[in-house]
Amino acid sequence: MALRISARSELPPFMVMDVVEKAEAMQASTHEVLRMEMGQPASLPPQAALAALQRYIDDPRAHSYTLSRGITPLRQAIARHYKRWYDLVIDPDQILITMGSSVGFLMAFLTCFDAGARIAMTVPGYSAYRNLMLSASLEPMLIDVYAEDDWRLSVEKLAALSPRPDGLLIANPANPTGVALSGAEVEAIAKWCEANGVRLISDEIYHGIHFGAAGHCARQYASSALVLNSFSKYFAMTGHRIGWIIAPDDLVDPLDRLGQNSFISANALSQMAAAAALDDPDSYRQMDEYVARYRINRDLLLARLPEKLLGQFPYPDGGFYIYADTRALSADSAVLSNRFLDELSISVTPGCDFDERLGHLYTRLSFAGSTEDMAEAAQRLSDWVAQNA
């Protein structure tokens, strides 16, 4: 007799993973692929992190469980990071280390909300949010945003939501659109949430990767907000799986207990490396050089790619993605992505991963790779468009 599988496990797949699998299979058969599908920085983590990995490799503490909320030096270093970047005083006891921000999202959902709660988020948006909400028996409330409105979320859109959501998840800068909210926008959204009893969860994983004004942390405006972040993007440490949550006092213990019972602790050696990265000012200089390269990559692609591939869209002002309007090339971006991979050996992500409604008209290009790869990709894509469109 076939036994039941829970309804909550019937999640849509992460389509980019199909692209990754195919691209990796091609690479394994010595086929070179220009990788533009994942948000994977092409460069190494901070030198200070690499040195720490070597320094601590024989230290028994590097191979042990840690406190579930993370090692104290890392939580203290993150608190100093908030003072440095935002002039914010955060108590290290309000910081919890997670296994990447991905696990942090699930922890935040499970501790903040009961089954059936409604959580608002913008679409297009990072699909794991919605899928994790479904797996936690929560109800995503999708707020459509459009290129014509600069993909922006406004308080007017929030006020129009009916029924009122229990929570709101914002990503700033956003994936895939690259929209970075101004301080005034974050403040207005955070204040609306506090005034309306809506729990704000702010994904700030792309902070530091800004091409205009610096990022604003939701905690600057709402003490009840949860802030999620990680070492994956600005610090180029995706594989270490180290993220963090800044939580209001009343959520610290529930989050800590959930961590203790689910993953016990994040990788000890990686936590030590992350702390070393934050403690060395050179890490910031090195990472800012990467950000300067992302900007060069963005500008190169926007200057060289044909309009038929880019469409009309607002400039990404943070993160490392272009969410291109590819409808002039194909009404199905999944088909288009496959063609780019098969015919040009370029892997990109179809927009359906971010938007079930209009995603077939969009394609996400990641410019986190090397400038050399971006130039080569721009050439191949431009030639392809000239021949095929």
Instruction: List interacting residues with ligand PLP (CB under 6 A).
Output: 39, 100-102, 126, 171, 175, 203, 205, 230, 232, 238, 243
66: left (phi over 0), alpha (psi -120 to 50) or beta: beta
Closer CB to ligand PLP, residue 82 or residue 384? Answer: 82
Judge contact between 367 and 385, C-beta under 8 A. no
Least separation, in Å, of the C-beta of 101 and ligand PLP?
3
Closer CB to ligand PLP, residue 203 or residue 344? Answer: 203
Q: Of 146, 144, 204, 211, which is closest to residue 173 (Cα–Cα)? A: 204
d(CA 143, CA 389): 33
Closer CB to ligand PLP, residue 41 or residue 330? Answer: 41
- Determine if the peptide bond prior to 45 is cis (ω within 30°): no
d(CA 65, CA 63): 7
Closer CB to ligand PLP, residue 185 or residue 329? Answer: 185
Judge contact between 240 and 267, C-beta under 8 A. yes
Closer CB to ligand PLP, residue 113 or residue 235? Answer: 235
Least separation, in Å, of the C-beta of 30 and ligand PLP?
28
Least separation, in Å, of the C-beta of 121 and ligand PLP?
11
Least separation, in Å, of the C-beta of 38 and ligand PLP?
8
Closer CB to ligand PLP, residue 107 or residue 222? Answer: 107
Least separation, in Å, of the C-beta of 328 and ligand PLP?
26
Least separation, in Å, of the C-beta of 2 and ligand PLP?
33
Residue 43: other Cβ atoms inside 10 A: 14
Least separation, in Å, of the C-beta of 245 and ligand PLP?
11
Judge contact between 96 and 69, C-beta under 8 A. yes
Closer CB to ligand PLP, residue 206 or residue 221? Answer: 206
β partners of residue 118: 139
Closer CB to ligand PLP, residue 172 or residue 330? Answer: 172
Structure tokens at 382: 């431009």
137: left (phi over 0), alpha (psi -120 to 50) or beta: left
Which residue of this chain has its Cβ atom nearest to ligand PLP in the complex? Answer: 100
Measured in Å, how far apart are the chain's first and last C-alpha atoms?
53
Closer CB to ligand PLP, residue 102 or residue 337? Answer: 102
Least separation, in Å, of the C-beta of 203 and ligand PLP?
5
Least separation, in Å, of the C-beta of 168 and ligand PLP?
15
